[in-house]
Amino acid sequence: MKSVIKRTVNSVDVPDYLLEIISMNYDKCFLDITAIENNEKITMIYDVKNLSKIDINGYTLYQAISLIKEIVICEENNENHLIFPEDYLICLDLIFIPNKGKGIKLLYYPDENGKGFIEKLIGLIEEISQYYQYSDKALMMSIIENISQNEFNTIKLIKFLEALEQNVMV
């Protein structure tokens, strides 16, 4: 299995301060990255040793809700490090999990469209919900409804997701 992933992007898509924050691993939500600047391109080399791309096929509803909660927690942590959700993509293909242990790591890839976190989170939940049917899918859609109807607040959303976790454990 490969221990690195390489991606090349335009240097204008990644501000210098952002590249430094991610490269220095101040924010623990992203994969470790080495960035090589060459003219107007940046080659980003991500360390994925002991990590696997997430495969939620077969995830329990509890695990899916926990994943969503971890993404929300990461987003809040990222903003504390001046990495805003408009700066990077969020989708299942860019989420990695440790081969042993818990947690998630995001592959930082610039978002050229600059969509906000709510829009990205809803897209991720819709992507996850494709793996579920009937009442489980309805529960995933209730998360979207909660996000859409309420003024967005990460603390309230995390509490809502924790309550859902408790309900599906029973």
Using the Cα atoms of residue 71, residue 99, residue 91 and residue 109 in order, give the sign of their dihedral. Answer: positive
Q: Name the β-bridge partners of 51.
A: 98
Residue that wins the pLDDT comparison between 170 and 139? 139
Strand order in the sheet with 41-47: 4-10, 41-47, 33-38
Task: Please check the confidence at residue 56 and state whether its pLDDT lies above 90.
Answer: yes
Q: Give dist(CA 159, CA 169) in Å, integer.
A: 15
Residue that wins the pLDDT comparison between 16 and 90? 90
The string of pLDDT tens digits covering residues 23-44 is 888 888 999 999 999 989 999 9
Task: Please check the confidence at residue 170 and state whether its pLDDT lies above 70.
Answer: no
pTM exceeds cut of 0.85: yes
Mark 99-130 as b/e (b = at least 16 C-beta within 10 Å): eeeeebbbbbbbbeeeeebeebbeebbeebbe
Task: Tell me which amino acid residue 33 is.
Answer: I
**pLDDT (mean) for 8-34:** 89
- Residue whose C-alpha is closest to residue 113's, from 78, 82, 84, 89: 89
The string of pLDDT tens digits covering residues 129-168 is 999 988 899 999 999 998 988 677 888 899 999 999 998 8
How many Cα atoms are found within 13 Å in the side-chain-facing hemisphere of 88?
A: 25
Q: Give dist(CA 58, CA 150) in Å, integer.
A: 30
What is residue 122's predicted lDDT score, i.e. its pLDDT?
Answer: 95
